[in-house]
Amino acid sequence: MIKTTKKRFDIRITQANATVSETFELDKNIVRIQGLLLSSDKDDLLYYRGAQKIEINKEEYFPDNYESKLLMTGLNVSPKQRYYDLGGASAGNGRVQLTYKDTDDGRTVFAPYRVSLYLDCELEDLK
Amino acid sequence: MRESVIVTKLSIKLQGERKHFQVKLPSDITSIVGIEYSVRLMDMYPLLPVEPPREVINPDGTISLILPEDDSAVAIKSKFKANQFVGELRLQSYDHMNWFYAADVFANDANLNLCDVSDLYFRVKEYTHSIPRYEEVMQIPGISTLIQGWYMDALGKQYNQNLRYELGIYVWITTKEAS
């Protein structure tokens, strides 16, 4: 039986114009990723300054410089529709790599912030 | 078929700047399936000219003046604003005659808060209330590995100053699945 679960992975951006890369490991029983979502504790900084590359199972889903605002969702969207639909990406080796790049933007002043990657996962029930 | 996206960034520095550019595509391309764009402003956002009071005609024919800082529900309803026009973008594939994509590029949705009475207490911003963004879906079959593009700035022209910004163009394509 297939069940769904949401996973959250965080990175901290402490310097302006920095690139931070981190690889996260999914649980072994996760077989597919249905969708993803980016969020932050300072939404304006993520929206205006952020761009990232996302790889799942060594396969590039979003290339370098793909802006974070294109993967964000506002509060007026119903919770079930907030995730960007990946159409059931295979989790494979379970490794998700997020390479995030902060770039100056004329509308914001830098302050350290958190970037959260949410994944909508399908997992195999081992029972 | 495998879907992927090619990112192209244009750096605009001068008012009214026109740019011809190319987007290189992989050799195993089968079709272009979507286009989207984004704008990142590098300079301080230009100060908008002082907004004059607006006239609203009431049902009884009398005219009320609404000041820009008026936060009443009636005032918010009348605050329809034009989106910030940034420039014109056109793309052409060698597989087809004429442009296959032509768009006016806008920076944001300036009317996210329109008729939203909660805006009185919780300011509506594009990063708090925007809907998910997806590419503009299209189907442009072809095997050529180059797209010709043309872009013309309108933002700098409007404010009569050189404003630096970066335009991101995202071309979604399908390629043959590696066997």
- B170 shares contact with chain A (CB less than 8 Å): yes
Contacts (Cβ under 8 Å, ≥6 apart) of A20: A11, A12, A13, A99, A100, A102
pLDDT over 70, % of chain B = 87
Residue A34: pLDDT band by 50, 70, 90 thresholds? very high
d(CA B62, CA A108) in angstroms, rounded, equals 43
B94 touches chain A (CB under 8 A): no
User: Token pair of B123, please?
Assistant: 């300011």
- Those residues whose C-beta lies under 8 Å from the C-beta of residue A120, and which sit 6 or more positions away, are A4, A6, A33, A34, A35, A36, A37, A83
CA distance B59 to chain A (A): 32
Residue B68: the pLDDT is 67
pLDDT value at A127 more than 70: no
Structural fold of domain B2-43+81-175: Jelly Rolls (2.60.120)
pLDDT band per the 50, 70, 90 thresholds, residue A75? confident
Angle at the Cα of B127 (from B163 to A63), degrees rounded to 5? 75
Enter the ipTM: 0.82
∠ CA A102-A15-A37, rounded to 5°: 40
Best to test chain A binding among B40, B45, B129, B169 (most A CBs inside 10 Å): B40
User: Is it the case that residue B92 has pLDDT exceeding 70?
Assistant: yes
Domains, in order of start, for chain A: 2-124 (2.60.120)
Residue A113: closest CA among A45, A50, A48, A22? A45
Q: Are B40 and A66 within 8 A, CB to CB? A: no
Taking an 8 Å Cβ-Cβ cutoff, which residues of chain A contact chain B? 43-44, 46-48, 60, 62-67, 69-70, 72-77, 81-82, 84, 103-107
Residue B44 makes CB contacts below 8 A (sequence gap 6+) with: A106, A107
pLDDT value of residue B72 = 63
Range from A23-32, A65-74, B41-50 carrying the lowest mean pLDDT:
B41-50
Residue of B nearest to A80 (CA): B132
Greater pLDDT, A41 or B113: A41
Q: What does the alpha-carbon distance between residue B168 and residue A2 come to, in Å, rounded to a whole number? A: 38
Which of A67, A74, A106 comes nearest B128 by C-beta?
A: A74
Higher pLDDT, B152 or B120: B152
Which range of B68-72, B130-134, B136-140 scores highest in mean pLDDT? It is B136-140
> For residues B13 and B87, what is the distance between their CA atoms, to the nearest angstrom?
13
| pLDDT at residue B111 in the model | 81
Q: Do B127 and A69 touch (CB under 8 A)?
A: yes
CB contact at 8 A, A40 and B128: no
Structural element, H or E, at residue B70:
none
Average pLDDT over residues A28-32: 93
Mean pLDDT highest for which of A38-47, B49-58, B59-68?
A38-47
**How high does pLDDT run on average in chain B?**
85
Find chain A residues with C-beta within 8 A of B38's C-beta: 67, 69-70
**Distance from the A17 Cα atom to the nearest Cα atom in chain B, whole angstroms:** 13
Mean pLDDT across B129-146? 87
Q: Are B173 and B2 in contact (CB under 8 A)?
A: no
Query: How many pairs of residues across A and B have Cβ atoms under 8 Å apart?
Result: 68
d(CA B45, CA B164): 10
Across the range A28-56, mean pLDDT stands at 94
